[in-house]
Amino acid sequence: MHVGGVILAAGVSARMARPKLLLPFRGKPLLWHAVSCMASAPVAPVVCVLGHASADTGSVLRTYTFPQPILVRNNDVYASGRASSVRAGIDSLPESCAAAVFLPGDMPLLQPQDVAALVERFQRTGASIVVAVDEAGDRAHPVLFARSLFPRLGALQGDESGHGLILEMWPKAEKVTVPRSRVMDIDTEDDYRRLLELEPEES
């Protein structure tokens, strides 16, 4: 079963005073790490939904070469909330995609094998939702939604992003463990400082 990938990179970085996806980490912008992860995983096509500061985030996609082409989708109504980016992502996927993995653009530590593990679980079980969880069983990213749920994702409004759907279907969702050390997202300046503390380890 064919699986696509969607990177959500349209947000306004509300809790930071600068576009966080452009911040450097290990010599490249944060967005590069998320896109490279998804493009190196067994998903295709890879759609990157841009919105706020799209000229700058788009330049990241044009400047670097990735393992597969990246389909850029500009969400002109990103200010209406996350739901519009989710819709833009699923609307950009071909009918051949039986599911899609969604990944926020501010997760630079996730690895392709983490995405691959969700895809493998879906292909083996046909589950409607496959969710990454940390070692404690707490919900993390990424998450895979089967095409059967695309209409419900498309009906989301405002800042809804699928969290309510995940909670509703949590008892039946397949869970795949991803190390807590790799599911860090960057929402605040403190998050970014903690991330930079990791930089020397793999420089």
Closest CA to 105 of 175, 58, 151, 62: 58
The token pair at 73 is 């989708």
Residue pLDDT, tens place only, 116-127: 999 999 999 999
Query: Is domain 3-198 classified as CATH 3.30.230.70?
Result: no
Residue pLDDT, tens place only, 137-162: 999 999 999 999 999 999 999 988 88
Averaged pLDDT, 15-25: 87
- Tell me: pLDDT of 165 over 60: yes
- Tell me: pLDDT of 111 over 90: yes
Q: Where are the domains of the chain?
A: 3-198
Name the residue type at position 97.
C
